[in-house]
Amino acid sequence: MAGTDPIPPTVEWRRGAVRIIDQRVLPGRLRFLDCADVDSLVDAIATLAVRGAPALGATGAFGVALGAHTLKTKRQVRAAAARIARARPTAVNLGWGAERALRAYEHDGRDAALVVAQAIAADDVRRNRLIGAHGLSLVPVGGAVLTHCNAGSLACVGYGTALGVVRAAFEGGRRPSVWVDETRPLLQGARLTMWECDRLGIDARLVVDGAAASLMQRGLVDLVIVGADRIAANGDVANKIGTYGLAVAARHHQIPFYVAAPASTLDLATATGDAIVVEERDPDEVTHAGTRRIAPVGAGAFNPAFDITPARLVTAIVTECGAARPPYRRSLPAHVRRAAEVVTPGP
Amino acid sequence: MAGTDPIPPTVEWRRGAVRIIDQRVLPGRLRFLDCADVDSLVDAIATLAVRGAPALGATGAFGVALGAHTLKTKRQVRAAAARIARARPTAVNLGWGAERALRAYEHDGRDAALVVAQAIAADDVRRNRLIGAHGLSLVPVGGAVLTHCNAGSLACVGYGTALGVVRAAFEGGRRPSVWVDETRPLLQGARLTMWECDRLGIDARLVVDGAAASLMQRGLVDLVIVGADRIAANGDVANKIGTYGLAVAARHHQIPFYVAAPASTLDLATATGDAIVVEERDPDEVTHAGTRRIAPVGAGAFNPAFDITPARLVTAIVTECGAARPPYRRSLPAHVRRAAEVVTPGP
């Protein structure tokens, strides 16, 4: 896909360096960071130049491959892998990707680490394309989709999950239009999803998060589709704060509410959403917009990063294995089982 | 109230000038603008140094009094009144206040215009205190209130409507705590409501608009209370964008949803909310946060200023005449009839 895709890969190997799209300067500029050593890559991860669970998994693996290519001793490479895994404390995918590449390096050397990283990246894009293929029929021809945050190419290595479904519908001639929630506090909808839609030529309009219910009331939304950070065995969905309110509003207006995510997001060991601990982030993200203070000095704020949408509000969960329907306790396990088979290694 | 109130009047007459709180620099600074001539007052209105329908009504009247005190001819005063009325195109209260003061001026001269302006200002505060007195029992002791936008002192001359109910509960020893929606795009919650709560010593915490439903889900909200820009005869409520989504979420969680507004907001000539035209504002408010661009250049945005909350989602409407309950077509007319009587003129 790389050559002709209007959105370059979020992370890739380029002439001995790890090239990432610098998401800190989007949507103003499309700038690439070529990280030629582990230090600069760790810095890029820590400062959110690259973010999104699937993207970080691949970045962790490419980072170890980079260490294997630039460092002299095994000990140095192991230390680099540990530093990469710790670059963002709560990003489990980072450690997962670094660990896989390190294992390959320990067994088979430098080139094996890179082969694993490339495979993780290619696998991500293939699974996302499958999610799109399974989900596109949920988008009626000419339908208006509402989405939240960024579950697009930039959150992954390529193509995207929730936005991948919209993209697949677009590429399939269904002419979708998209309402994009700006997604305070960090504005991933305004900054990243709007940028992706612009690159792809998909008709998109930005709204403040508070406008979503009113759009539904006016009959301007045919379906809602969002990504997920984690999905419990019963189908409860943890996703960016604001998702739950959309699900409640969608139900009130009898609009379908879909979640699109790779099967790796399904956490069958977690029975329900009650067991998911919601990360609370720095209140400064709420008391500020960018660097500008918007609340009085000393103002208290509450900044949960995610919310939990109960399964009963979720119409279907689309993975690379198809669209799972309620009851999810019965439909989701097959997705986990089949996930290993649906993507063949390659090319 | 003026002397000891922790929040100064939004607009008042001070030594031959109209003094307003400059809301453009809140919450960073409490700065007063002393407008000594009509030009500077018109500029203050046009640039949103003062905003909020009731506040603008009084400002329009004070503006004409200012013209009567500083201009030489009747013709000049009339022209000034017309300019003030046009300073914000959609603010009907501005023209209403200017017109009342101009009539007094034409009949009884310069001082009569000022007397009318002072009466309008005092009347606003008295009605708001009555709204608070009627509404405070809706707030349980130690209850958590969620509010949206700014329906506080700064939107009026003093005391506030929805936030006035919270203030009355606070002053009545009910120890309310407040969740404040930041209220994108213009952030009146973050900037103004948080500032007022801070001045009053009311426990308040700021959240992004998308977090409100999640707070309700966690059992952290006992009631929602908001102001209104206009209320139709059937009880449908036009208010700041984001209000409707709160009402839907409140109903989903069986949390009471209250509206507090002076009876002058009741528009019995408008049968239902369907007849209320919702103003669409500049998309730049959505593509920017303050002056910072947050969306790609050329990105489309949709920026309705208000939404319509249907009466069936409104638990009660609190005016200076008491709490109206459904069916509103029957309960609201008495509020309009009695509104003239509940407040006696004069100090």
DSSP per residue over B185-212, as a string? TTTHIIIIIHHHHHHHT-EEEEE-GGGH
Residue A335 lies in a domain: yes
Prediction pTM value: 0.95
Residue B5 lies in a domain: no
Examine the domain organization and report whether A261 and A314 are in the same domain.
yes
The helix (run of H) or strand (run of E) holding residue B257 is strand B257-260
Q: How far apart are CA B175 and CA A106, in angstroms?
A: 62
Beta A322-324 vs A316-319: how paired, if at all?
A: antiparallel
Q: In terms of CA atoms, which chain B residue is nearest residue A203?
A: B300
Query: Strand runs (DSSP E) across A160-314, as ranges?
Result: 177-181, 203-207, 223-226, 230-232, 237-240, 257-260, 266-267, 288-289, 292-293, 300-301, 306-309
Q: Alpha-carbon dihedral of residues A149, B215, A295, B11, nearest 10 degrees? A: 120
ipTM of the complex, rounded to two decimals: 0.94
- Contact residues on chain A for B148, CB-CB shorter than 8 A: 210
A211 and B252: CB-CB below 8 Å?
Answer: no
User: How many alpha carbons lie under 13 Å from residue B40 in its C-beta half-sphere?
Assistant: 13
* SS3 state at A142: coil
B187 and A289: CB-CB below 8 Å?
Answer: yes
- Contact residues on chain A for B240, CB-CB shorter than 8 A: 210
Q: How far apart are CA A247 and CA A213, in angstroms?
A: 10
Q: How far apart are CA B264 and CA B252, in angstroms?
A: 30
Examine the domain organization and report whether B96 and B149 are in the same domain.
no
Q: How far apart are CA B255 and CA B288, in angstroms?
A: 33
- Contact residues on chain A for B289, CB-CB shorter than 8 A: 187, 289-290, 292
Examine the domain organization and report whether B157 and B300 are in the same domain.
yes
Examine the domain organization and report whether A78 and A42 are in the same domain.
yes
A206 interfacial to chain B (CB closer than 8 Å): yes
Q: How far apart are CA A199 and CA A179, in angstroms?
A: 16
Examine the domain organization and report whether B141 and B161 are in the same domain.
yes
* β-strand partners of B178: B145, B204
Identity of the residue in A206, A217, A248 whose CB atom sits nearest the CB atom of B301? A206
pLDDT at B4: 79
Last residue of a domain, one of B60, B88, B123: B123
* SS3 state at B30: coil
Rounded to a whole number, what is the distance in Å from the CA of B289 to chain A's nearest CA? 7
B286 interfacial to chain A (CB closer than 8 Å): yes
A229 is an active site residue: yes
Q: What is the per-residue burial (b if ≥16 Cβ within 10 Å, else e) of A151-167?
A: bbbbbbbbbbbbbbbbb
DSSP-derived letter for residue B262 is -
Examine the domain organization and report whether A119 and A157 are in the same domain.
no
A239 interfacial to chain B (CB closer than 8 Å): no
If one counts every other C-beta atom within 10 angstroms of the C-beta of residue A305, the result is 18
Rounded to a whole number, what is the distance in Å from the CA of B165 to chain A's nearest CA? 21
Residue B91 lies in a domain: yes
Three-point CA angle B340, B342, B347, nearest 5°: 100
B298 and A206: CB-CB below 8 Å?
Answer: no
Domain assignment of residue B48, given as a range:
11-123
Examine the domain organization and report whether A209 and A270 are in the same domain.
yes
B208 and A303: CB-CB below 8 Å?
Answer: yes
pLDDT at B279: 87
Examine the domain organization and report whether A263 and A137 are in the same domain.
yes
Q: In terms of CA atoms, which chain A residue is nearest residue B148?
A: A210
Rounded to a whole number, what is the distance in Å from the CA of B110 to chain A's nearest CA? 40
* Options A229, A267, A282, A307, the catalytic residue: A229
A293 interfacial to chain B (CB closer than 8 Å): yes
Q: State the angle between helix axes of B110-135 and B92-108 in degrees (0 to 180), rounded to the nearest 10.
A: 140
A281 interfacial to chain B (CB closer than 8 Å): no
Q: The tokens of A78 are what?
A: 């192991």
Looking at the structure of chain B, the number of domains it has is 2
Residue A347 lies in a domain: no
B208 and A187: CB-CB below 8 Å?
Answer: no
CATH number at residue A87: 1.20.120.420
The per-residue pLDDT string of chain B (347 residues; one tens digit each, 9 = 90 and over) reads 445 799 999 999 999 999 999 999 999 999 999 999 999 999 999 999 999 989 999 999 999 999 999 999 999 999 999 999 999 877 788 999 999 999 999 999 999 999 999 999 999 999 999 999 999 999 999 999 999 999 999 999 999 999 999 999 999 999 999 999 999 999 999 999 999 999 999 999 999 999 999 999 999 999 999 999 999 999 999 999 999 999 999 999 999 999 999 999 999 999 999 999 888 999 999 999 988 999 999 999 999 999 999 999 999 999 999 999 999 999 999 999 999 888 765 43
A208 and B185: CB-CB below 8 Å?
Answer: yes
The alpha carbon of B304 is separated from its chain's Cα centroid by a whole number of angstroms, namely 18
Residue A346 lies in a domain: no
Task: Write the single-letter amino acid at A192.
Answer: L
